[in-house]
A and B are shown apart, each in its own frame.
Chain A
Amino acid sequence: AQSVTQPDIHITVSEGASLELRCNYSYGATPYLFWYVQSPGQGLQLLLKYFSGDTLVQGIKGFEAEFKRSQSSFNLRKPSVHWSDAAEYFCAAYYYGGSQGNLIFGKGTKLSVKP
């Protein structure tokens, strides 16, 4: 089945600490992989995407993600978290199917940042 798994529902890190948010996608994804961020009361904003090429991709706001085909993972990282990074983060993968592909989202990981 097409699915994207984000194992951590909620993570709390201290400001200045490093961050890694996990994402695994099921077999069959293209893989076109994405990370989106949703701040409270707002819609989702694209952080970064992977289509092909270098498996380490850089995004906005100092985030990066690494694609590992052998692990079906696309984990999001940031070396030093800022209080403004507190938000919910969504991983997504694109699956081809029929006449129209599907962009499948994970359930999200809520990030809290403590001073």
Chain B
Amino acid sequence: ETGVTQTPRHLVMGMTNKKSLKCEQHLGHNAMYWYKQSAKKPLELMFVYSLEERVENNSVPSRFSPECPNSSHLFLHLHTLQPEDSALYLCASSRGKTGVDSPLHFGNGTRLTVT
């Protein structure tokens, strides 16, 4: 049990579908993150929320839409994705908003395949 739970674990979707990834943290943290992990590439930060306010958006295409309704839940809404969006999407949380003063706690990820 990592304290950060992601669902689903695996997702296969067509390019015209709409789906959502869910993340829930049980650690009382104030910040939540979405990362994209692709083969042979460094982990890419997508979005950061601190106290439910988005503080970072790293030039992510608009086909990815995050939502943070409260400090325990984070969603990533997906629509009209491309095959190159296939990757492992990791959610993380931390006490602070940088991942430095307190370490990042990661979920086990959602393996997304876009067909």
Binding site for B on A (CB under 8 A): 4, 9, 32, 34, 36, 41-46, 49, 90, 92, 94, 100-108
Q: Which residues of B contact A9 (CB under 8 A)?
A: 40
A94 close to B109 (CB less than 8 A): no
Query: Shortest beta-carbon distance, A28 to chain B, in Å?
Result: 15
Alpha-carbon separation in the docked complex, A92 to B92 (Å): 15
Chain A residues in 8 Å Cβ range of B56 = 100
Bound-complex Cα distance A32 to B100 (A) = 7
Whose C-beta in chain B lies nearest to the C-beta of A47?
A: B103
Checking B41, B98, B106 against A44 with a beta-carbon cut-off of 8 angstroms, the contacting residue is B106
Interface on chain A toward B: helix, strand, loop, or mixed SS?
strand
Asked if residues B109 and A43 are in contact (CB atoms below 8 Å), the reply is yes
Nearest residue (CB) in A for B9 is A41
Give the size category of B's interface with A. Answer: 20 to 34
Contact B43 A90 (CB under 8 A): yes
Closest to A49 in B: B103
Contact yes or no, B42 A41, CB < 8 A? no
Instruction: List, in ascending order, chain B residues with CB within 8 A of A45's CB.
Output: 2, 106
Contact with A along B1-28 (1 / 0, CB 8 A): 0101000000000000000000000000
Contact of B55 among A46, A100, A102, A107 (CB under 8 A): A100
Assess whether A43 is in contact with B41, with CB atoms less than 8 Å apart.
no
Please, which residue of chain B has its CB at the minimum distance from the CB of A107? Answer: B42
A36, A44, A103: the one within 8 Å of B100 (CB):
A103
- 5 shortest interchain CB distances as A-B pairs: A43-B106, A105-B43, A46-B103, A44-B106, A105-B42
Would you give the shortest CB distance from B41 to chain A, in whole angstroms? 6
Assembled-state Cα–Cα distance A43/B89 (Å): 10
Q: A4-B42, A103-B45, A104-B42 are in contact. List 14 more A-B contacts (CB 8 A).
A: A32-B100, A43-B2, A43-B92, A43-B106, A43-B107, A44-B92, A46-B104, A94-B100, A100-B55, A100-B56, A100-B98, A101-B98, A103-B99, A106-B42
- In the bound complex, do residue A43 and residue B108 qualify as a contact, i.e. CB atoms below 8 Å apart? yes
In the docked arrangement, what's the CA distance between A108 and B90, Å?
A: 15
Give Cα A104 to B56, complex, Å: 14
Chain B 33-49 near chain A by CB (<8 Å), digits 1 or 0: 00000001111010010
